[in-house]
Structures are given as C-alpha cells and as structure tokens.
Amino acid sequence: MRSTKLVLLALVLCLTLSSSALAKVNITFWHAMGAELGEATEYLTQKFNEIQDEIEVEAIYQGRYSDLNTKLVASFSAGTSPTIAQVYENWTDAYYRYGVIAALEDYMDLTEEEYNDYIEVFRHMNTWDGKLYTIPFNKSNWVLYYNKELIPEPPKTLEEFFQISKEVSEKTNGETKGFGIRPTLELFHAFLWLNGGDFFDDDLNVTFNSPEGKIALQQMIGMLEDGSALLVDGYEDGAFGDRMIAMYIGSSAGVTYAENSVGGKFEFSTAPLPAGIRPGAPFMGTNIAMFDAASEEEKAAAAKFVKWLTNAENTVYFAIKTGYLPVTYSGLASQEYQDFLEANPHKAAIANLEAFEYGYWQPKIAAWEECRGIIYEMVTKVFLGEDIDLSLAEGQMLVEEAIEDMLSQRY
Amino acid sequence: MARTGMLPENQMWQYRVRKLIKRFLLYAVLIGGALVMITPFVWMITSSLKAPHEISLKYIKWLPEAPQWRNYKVAWDAAPFAMYFKNSFFIAFVVMIIEVVFSSLAAYAFAKMNFFGKNVLFVLFLGTMMIPGEVMLIPNYITMVNFGWIDTYYALIIPWTVSVFSIFLLRQFFMSIPHELFEAAILDGCGKFKYLIMVMLPLSKPALVTVMLFKFIGSWNSFLWVLIMTNTPTMRTIPVGLTYFVSDVGTQYNYLMAASTFAMAPILILFLLLQKQFIQGVARTGLKG
C-alpha cells in the first residue's frame, strides 16, 4: 500500500516536472557575433534564461554576416529557419518580399511610449509597411577618428577638413598624411551625402550620377593627388595607430580596434563627420528579425525576449561592452551610459545626440547587395584612373538594371 | 676528380668556376623559393606573439618587442577549440579513410575493367567537377534536412567520402601500371580484388598518399559546409573558430595568427610524416618501373 502510494507520488511528480519542462517555449537566435560581441550576446541570453522559466533562448553563432545570410536563405527553402536572427535592412527587404518574416511589432505589445523610445533613425531603418518589422539591435554610427597630438580641434566643416588634412601632411613632410582613404562604398556615400547627394531618390531613381556624385569622387581623388590623404589597404585603424594617417572615418563599433592599434602611443578622439552643404551621420549595423515559420507561441516568446534585450538596462550593457549604440532614448540618457561616456571622452562622438537628427543610412532594398557591389567597383575604377563621368554613367546603368530586376519580382 | 685531373691547369680552373657559378645560381633560386614559401609562416608566427599595435605598420616589424604569449591563451579561450580540434581530427580522419577505399575501388574499375558505358560514365563523373560548390550548397542543405542529418556527423562525413578528383587521379596512376602485370597475375590465379590489394595499391603508394593528404587538408579547412550543416558548437570544426576574430569593423590579427598557428600545426606535422612515406613510395615504384 505504502509502496503504491510512493509510486503514484513519483508518477505525479514526474508528470508535473515533465509537463512544466514541456511548457517551456524554445526559441533560437542566430547571430554573427564572435569574440567579445559574442560573449556579450551569450551573457544576455543566459541571463534572460535565468530570470524567467517560460522561455529558453538558444543563441547560435553562424559565422560572419555573409555566412549568416547564406544560412538563412538556405533555411527558408528547407523550412528550418530560426525563430529570430540578426539581419541587415536590405536582407529584411528581401525576406519581406519572399514573405518569410513576421512583423515583430505585432507581437511586442509596445505602448506608445515604448515605441517612441526606440531612436527615431532606427525606427525608420526598421519600418516596412508602417510597422516595425524588425527591432534595432547592434547599431553603430560612423565618426571621424583623429589624432589629438596632431589635430587639437577636429574639423567642423569639409573645408576645414581639407585644410587640416593638407596642413598635417605638410607639417610632417608627408610622414603622416592627413586622412586615410579606402575606396569603400561607405566613404563614397559619406562624401556624396555631405555634398547634398545620395544613391537614390524616394522613387528609387538613381541619383549618384550627378554633380554631387562627381564632386564626391573628385574630392576623394583630389586628396590623394595633392598628398593630403593616403590610400589605405585594409582597416584604417592599423595605419592610424602607426601614425601613417591622422584621421579616418570609421564605425563606432571599431573603437576598440583603434584603441588596440594606437596602443597608448598618442591620444586620439572621435568627432562627428565634418559638415558639407549639410551635416550627416551614417548609421549602420543590424536588427533582429522574426521568421514567419515559427508558431504563434514561439513568436510571442521571441517578441518578449527582443523587448527585454532592448530595454534600457540591456541595451546599455551591450553598448558599453561592444561600442555599439544604445537603441533607445532611455538607454542613451541613462546615468550608467552617460557616466561611461564621461569616463571615455574619446567615445563621446559615438553617442552624439545631434547626430541622430541628421542620420542617414544605406538603401534598405533587396537589390542593395548587388548594387553596393556595382558601386564599389565603380569607385575602385575611378581610383584606378578611369574617367569619372564614364564610370558614373556605367554605374548608373548597372544599378538601374539591378533595381529593375528587383521590381519585376525576380527576387 | 679523376677525369678533371687530366685537364690542363687553366681549363680545370675554368671548370671549377663554372661549376661554382651553377651551384650558386641553383642555391640562389632554391633559397629564394624557400623564402617566398616560408615568409608568410614566419610572419604568422611572429605576429601571433605581437601586441595589436605592432602588426599593421608602415615598415614591417618582424619581431615583437616583448613576446605576448598570452595571445595563445586568449585565442584558445575565445572559442571551444579543444572540441573543434577533436571534431576536425575525427571528421578529417574518417573522411580520408573511407574516401581512399571508395576512390581506389572506383579508379580500379575505370582503369582496368571493361564494362558497358565505361567512358561515358567517366566523362559524366568528370563533368560534376565543373559545377561550382556554391550552386549546390542550398540544394544539398535541403537534402541533408530531408535526411535528418543536420547537426550530425553524417552530414559532415558521408557527402565527402566520394571525390571525383581522387578517382581521376588514382585512375590515371593505375593506368600507368603495365597491363601485362595484371594479365600475368590473373593467369597465376590471382583474383581481381586480390590483385588490387596485393599489387595495385602497394605500387600506387605515392598517388594514395597524395589523395589522402589532399582529402585530409580539404576536410580540415572546410568551413562553409560545416557552418551551414551544423548548429551546435559541439559539432563544429576549427575553421569556424577562426572566424571569431574577424568582424565587419576590424580583425584581431594577433589572436587570429595565434589561432592559425595552432590550427595549422597538426597539418604541418602530418605533412612532414607523410612526406617521408611519399618519398619512399616514389622510390619503390621507381625500382619496379
């Protein structure tokens, strides 16, 4: 009798335990963050798993961003997509067109206050169809890194910027060039934007084959020709740390690389990009998307996790650990983050509040991956000495073809 | 010495100088080649001991000011490398063994047997080498999902156990072994399979070693396949670990070089060991030939 009771008790215990284990919703989060970034992500995920017992999140490293995209695309065809993943805006647009993502906002129960707390620029970058389809996660902005030994006051305007670049090169007899140039799409975009141009207008007409585009390329080439800039191979932080260049434009997320390369040899700081016809602050980085293949239960769980991940405390933790930005106004304004900026004055430009007013970003269209390849090639050709007008015209033609392909639903 | 001893003094002197110059040129070319090959390795190893600010410099700095041995520790701890090593070894070894069995059997059939459609089949085989792997990645992924092999060793091993390149290489080698030997053995009552094991394979040691080495290195370096077909760290291999040091805003070169050094060491040791075998194999076939 006694033993039967015991067996029954054990059975009941087993059942309740297993049912509570079953009730746990498992979600997967694919990301592309190795090393310290990965650790910060892993830490937050573990913490979330510990503070509640309804949801279990598994964060899975899937290589670099390009690998992650490949794997996501493969997973859509095979029906094995994760619940959520890090995505760039142009991927989101492609996934949106495939019809494989679900709008996170629909599941997050955001109050108006919470919605407005996400920084406006990031909301723009994450909105499709009037909704926050994705939620900003690791966002960075591009800033001007400068050597404080050689440049006590950073340039405020493009004119000052050219002037200072020239002066530094002359003062050091060319040992240190004023500015480091890589023929990247991002740098071309910066010069294009500061001169009042952009890649496309609102109707996706190509606008970089324009006087602004020409001026941008001429300015970049001009700096190399008059010796005020150095053509840099690879990431600029190495050349910066070795005093080969006194300024470069780079991601705020790269500040630790700059610290490492400089290695305490001189003081450096960051500043907003110098203003041309208009000011500009390029914003980059990825967001979190949720996939439609997940069950309603999983979607609700994932939305809870994303909301928690971007609350003031966690977005600040992530920002301090990695050099990315807090994604909410409350995070930016938090005492902890402000103290951090005060203790690290060389990082102040990263979270320059004004910059959020004139932020710009790369086109969030599915064809962007292809277009950016074309534009990058165009800029490289100009650097190799091809005619600017011809290159711009050729670039426009190829980009228009890619856009047409996209609009005719071949994506 | 005896022959040159007969020459007049001045001719002998000329001969010696010419010989010396030839030697000198030969060594200059060899040393030059060796330097070109070895420089990247030296740079990798010295950079693995540098502080981050000592790597990307205007003038190459070969030696670190103070060797940063902790780079190895940091790199080793950045990813679960012990597990990655275990997986890499296991997968590369199993793939190599199974592949060499399959390849030698297939190559034997293509080289020594006559059957209907042999040449067409062989050309079809070779044709598959023209299809780039990237094109097949997503269909292959779907196949693996349907087999239920995602995140298992099956996906990492079985698709790689047949290699057209190895079959091609072995077939060419097998064909160079005189057919008379085959006929003589068969006449003496040796079966076809026994002939492969007892005669062909021992004679083909250099080709086998080459195929095995290629396969091992290929499997060791395989990155995208492993990444796509697995989800858990416990199933992954060393190249996945190396990507931890590369990001879209910068690369931690010192850690990457430290990790590359320990990732490469086993391959180097294997190569040195097999190189001996390789030379033996060549010597043995040389005698028979």
Using CB atoms, which residue from B146, B228, B233 is nearest to A71?
A: B228
Contact A67 B52 (CB under 8 A): no
Which residues form the domain of A211? 141-282
Pair A206, A159 in one domain: yes
Distances (CA, A) of B38 to A1, A79, B6, B32, B34: 80, 47, 44, 10, 6
With beta carbons less than 8 A apart as the criterion, state whether A323 and A256 touch.
yes
pLDDT confidence bin for A7, thresholds 50/70/90: low
Burial of residue A315 (number of CB atoms within 10 Å: 0-12, 13-18, 19+): buried
Q: How far is A2 from chain B (nearest CA, A)?
A: 45
pLDDT score for B287: 41
The answer on A291 and A272 residing in a single domain is no
Same domain, A277 and A156: yes
Q: Is residue A411 part of a domain?
A: no
| Spatial separation of the C-alpha atoms in residues B217 and B99, rounded to whole Å | 13
Residue written as tokens 């097999």? Answer: B274
Give the model's pLDDT for residue A272.
93
- Tell me which chain B residues have a C-beta less than 8 angstroms from the C-beta of A265: 53
Interface test with A, best of B249, B251, B254, B256 (most A CBs within 10 A): B249
Using a CB-CB cut-off of 8 Å, the residues of chain B touching A244 are 58
Q: Tokens for A132?
A: 């926050």
A292-306, B25-39, B47-61, B81-95: least confidently modelled range: B47-61
Classify residue A233 by its DSSP letter.
Answer: P
Chain A residues inside the 8 Å CB shell of B249: 140, 235, 250-251, 253-254, 257
Phi, psi for residue A109 in degrees, rounded to 5: 50, 55
Residue A255 lies inside a defined structural domain of this protein:
yes
Looking at the 3D structure of chain A, how many domains does it have?
A: 2
Boundary (domain end) residue, out of A241, A259, A282: A282
Count chain A–chain B contacts defined by CB atoms under 8 A.
103
Q: How far apart are CA B235 and CA B244, in angstroms?
A: 16
Q: Which of B55, B231, B247 to mutate to test the interface with A (most CBs of A within 10 A)?
A: B247
Q: How many residues does chain B have?
A: 289
**Residue A362 identity:** Q
The average confidence (pLDDT) of chain A is 92
Domain match, A115 and A196 both: no
Q: Which residues of A touch B244 (CB under 8 A)?
A: 34-35, 38, 61
Measured CA to CA, the distance from residue A103 to residue A135 in angstroms comes to 9
- Nearest chain B residue (CA) to A322: B249
B135 band by pLDDT with thresholds 50, 70 and 90: confident
> A150 and A259: one domain?
yes
What is the per-residue pLDDT for B289?
A: 35
Do A121 and A207 belong together in one domain?
no
Of B56, B137, B244, the CB nearest to A261: B56
Task: Point out the residue among B51, B150, B249 whose CB comes nearest to the CB of A257.
Answer: B249
Q: Which one-letter amino acid corresponds to residue A303?
A: A
Render pLDDT for B221-250 as a digit per residue (tens, 0 to 9): 999 999 999 998 899 999 999 998 988 888
* Beta carbons within 10 angstroms of residue A17's beta carbon: 10
Of B57, B227, B248, the CB nearest to A242: B57
Residue A212 exposure: Cα atoms within 13 Å on the Cβ side: 19
**Chain A residue nearest residue B134, CA to CA:** A70
Integer CA distances (angstroms), A308 to A135, A184, A315, B263, in order: 12, 36, 9, 38
Structure tokens belonging to residue A79: 């029906």
Closest CA to A84 of A284, A303, A296, A286: A303
Whether A375 is covered by a domain: the verdict is: no
Q: How far is B100 from chain A (nearest CA, A)?
A: 31
Q: Which residue in the set B137, B227, B250 is minimally distant from A254, CB to CB?
A: B250
Q: Tens digit of pLDDT for each residue in B50-83?
A: 998 888 887 888 889 889 999 999 999 988 999 9
Chain B residues with CB-CB distance to A372 below 8 A? none
End of a domain among A264, A282, A300?
Answer: A282
Q: Please check whether residues A128 and A161 belong to one and the same domain.
A: no
Sequence letter at residue A261: S
pLDDT digits (tens, 9 = 90+) for A123-140: 999 999 999 999 999 999
A63 at interface of B, judged by CB pairs closer than 8 A: yes
Q: What is the pLDDT of residues A127-178, one digit of tens each?
A: 999 999 999 999 999 999 999 999 999 999 999 999 999 999 999 999 999 9
Using CA coordinates, name the residue in chain B closest to A82: B231
The helix (H) or strand (E) run that includes residue A145 is strand A135-147
Can you read off the two tokens belonging to residue B130? 């023209």
Rounded Cα distance between A151 and A228, Å, is 14
Model confidence at B285, in pLDDT bands (50, 70, 90)?
A: very low
Q: Are B233 and A265 a contacting pair at CB < 8 A?
A: no
DSSP calls for A255-318: HHHHHHHHTTSS-EEEEPPPBSSS--EEEEEEEEEEETTS-HHHHHHHHHHHHHHTSHHHHHHH
Please count the CA atoms within 13 angstroms of the CA of B59 that sit on its side-chain side: 1
List all residues 6 or more positions away from B10 whose beta carbon is below 8 Å from its beta carbon.
none
Q: What is the pLDDT of residue B288?
A: 41
> Searching chain A, which residue's CA lies closest to the CA of residue B223?
A63
Measured between alpha carbons, how far is A192 from A195 in angstroms, rounded to an integer? 5
Kindly report, residue by residue over A375-405, the tens digit of the pLDDT. 999 999 999 999 999 999 999 999 999 999 9
A261 CB neighbours in chain B (<8 A) are 52-53, 56
Is the residue at A11 inside a domain?
no
How many Å lie between the alpha carbon of A185 and the closest alpha carbon of chain B? 14
Q: A198 and A206 in contact (C-beta within 8 Å)?
A: no
Check A244 against B246: CB less than 8 A apart.
Answer: no
Structural tokens at position A405: 């392909």
- Cα–Cα distance between A383 and A230 in angstroms, integer? 12
Query: Own/partner pairs for B189-197, CB < 8 Å, 24+ apart?
Result: B192/B112, B192/B113, B196/B104, B196/B105, B196/B108
Contact status, residue A332 vs residue A354, Cβ threshold 8 Å: no
Query: Which of A261, A284, A324, A325 is the best mutation test for B, with the most CBs of B within 10 A?
Result: A261
Q: Note whether A109 and A225 are same-domain residues.
A: no
Q: Say if residue A185 is in the same domain as residue A242.
A: yes
| Count of all residues that appear for chain A in the document | 411
* CA–CA min distance B160, chain A (Å): 20
Residue B79's closest chain A neighbor by CA? A35
A364 in a structural domain: no
Between CA A208 and CA A205 the distance in angstroms is: 9
Closest approach of chain B CAs to the CA of A124, in angstroms?
23
- Cα–Cα distance list, B165 to B111, B114, B218 (Å): 14, 21, 12
CB contact (8 A) between residue B56 and residue A254: no
Alpha carbon distance A293, B257 (integer Å): 40
Q: Looking at the complex, does the CB of residue A231 fall below 8 Å from at least one CB of chain B?
A: no
pLDDT tens for A20-71 read 455 799 999 999 998 788 889 999 999 999 999 999 999 999 999 999 999 9
Same domain, A276 and A308: no
Partner residue facing B249 (CB), from A71, A234, A251: A251
A387 assigned to some structural domain: no
CATH code reported for the domain at B75-288:
1.10.3720.10
Q: What percent of chain A has pLDDT over 90?
A: 84
Residue after which a domain boundary falls, among A254, A282, A310:
A282
Q: Which residue of A has its CA nearest to B239?
A: A63
Co-location of A313 and A278 in the same domain: no
Is A283 an 8 Å CB contact of chain B? no
Give the Cβ contact number of residue A146 at 10 Å. 29
Interface residues of chain B, partner chain A, Cβ below 8 Å: 51-58, 78-79, 137-138, 141-142, 145-146, 150, 223-224, 227-228, 231-233, 240, 243-252, 255
Retrieve residue A80's tokens: 């094995």
> What is the least distance, in Å, from the CA of B265 to any CA of chain A?
22
- Closest by CA to A100, choosing from A124, A86, A123, A82, is A82
Phi-psi region of A334 (alpha: psi -120 to 50; beta: other; left: phi over 0): beta
* Residue A376 forms part of a structural domain: no
Find, in chain B, the residue whose alpha carbon is nearest to that of A250. B249
Cα–Cα dist B154/B131, whole Å: 23
Per-residue pLDDT reduced to its tens digit, A355-372: 888 999 999 999 999 999
ipTM above 0.90, yes or no: no
Q: What are phi and psi of A176, to 5 degrees?
A: -115, 120
Looking at beta carbons, which residues of chain B come within 8 Å of A260?
A: 52-53, 252
Q: A5 lies in a domain?
A: no
pLDDT at residue A15 greater than cutoff 90 = no
* Domain at A129, CATH number: 3.40.190.10
- From A316, A307, A314, select the one nearest A338 (Cα to Cα): A316
Distance (Å) from the C-alpha of residue B178 to the closest C-alpha of chain A? 49
For the question of whether the overall pTM of this predicted structure is more than 0.90, the answer is no
